[in-house]
Amino acid sequence: MLHDKKIIVVMPAYNAARTLETTYREIPFDIVDEVILVDDASRDDTAAKARELGIHTIIHPRNLGYGGNQKTCYQEALTRGADVVVMLHPDYQYSPRLITAMASMILSGHYDVVLGSRILGGDALKGGMPLYKYIANRFLTLVENMALGVKLSEYHTGYRAFARTVLETLPLEENSDDFVFDNELLAQAVFFGFKIGEVSCPTKYFDDASSINFRRSVIYGLGVLSTSARYALQKMGIRKSRIFDPEGRRLRTGPSSR
């Protein structure tokens, strides 16, 4: 615990058996109370490895997509009483040692969402980020900052921390089950008035690190532009979108999954 608040780390996993243990061993368990891994129908032994490590593990019988995986992660974390939820990819692309800093920023009361930014430190390319992804990241971030009226260094990191109230409030069930879920969530957070902070985070790109291919990257980029357009149209009162509806479907919580 940190400041008497329960910290839960969630890991949306797909074929992460090779990197899971390395990632897990660097989690700061002096403040993290529990780790939850949701295996999205991996083809390797991710789930078996997770259980060997003593991680609370949920297995999807079929692949629900990256967004669908996160929905299960957050539902389970809320059900299990999390006050702060940190999403950490099990592919060792992001440093688990920053969990303490990110959770502390949430519990300071200054921020509701904290992002581990690969851009702030200026070393994204040195860490191996492909040039085309870096250029797309900068372009899409510029567009989103203009559309959403905020100033973040990037919207596309997979390293995030949330206050419980964020995950309870946002209509996350209205979001995509694909990769654009991440972007929709941040647009929702801005729309609903939550405060977003960032911390510089080194990143590593290597063979076992998860990364979507060029085609999926293009689809994601188009989804990001669509999200920005829907946000702008909603704010102008021209067209309503379910992802920004205060009455939209929220995460369902109930008995813990096993």
Provide the CATH number for the domain around residue 151: 3.90.550.10
Q: Is residue 160 part of a domain?
A: yes
Structural domain including 161 reads: 7-244
Q: At 127, is the pLDDT very low, low, confident or very high (cuts 50, 70, 90)?
A: confident
Q: Helix, strand, or coil here: 136?
A: helix
Choose among 77, 60, 57: nearest CA to 69: 60
d(CA 114, CA 86): 9
Return the percentage of the chain with pLDDT > 90, whole number.
84
256 contacts 80 by C-beta, under 8 angstroms: yes
Residue with tokens 């592919």: 91
Structure confidence by residue, pLDDT tens digits, 7-62: 999 999 999 999 999 999 999 999 999 999 999 999 999 999 999 999 999 999 99
Residue 257 falls within a domain, yes or no? no
Domain contains 173: yes
Does residue 166 form part of some domain?
Answer: yes
Q: Tell which residue, 36, 48, 46, 41, has the closest CA to residue 11.
A: 36
* Residue 23 in domain: yes
The total number of structural domains in the chain stands at: 1
- Amino acid 95 reads S
SS (H, E, C) 33-50: CEEEEEECCCCCCHHHHH
Give the alpha-carbon dihedral of 73, 77, 160, 192, to 10 degrees: 100
Tell me the whole-structure pTM to 2 decimals. 0.93
In this structure, is residue 1 part of a structural domain? Answer: no
Centre a 10 Å sphere on the Cβ of residue 148 and count the other Cβ atoms it contains.
20
In a domain, 2, yes or no: no
| Within-domain flag for 250 | no
CA triple 62-67-71, angle to 5 deg: 85
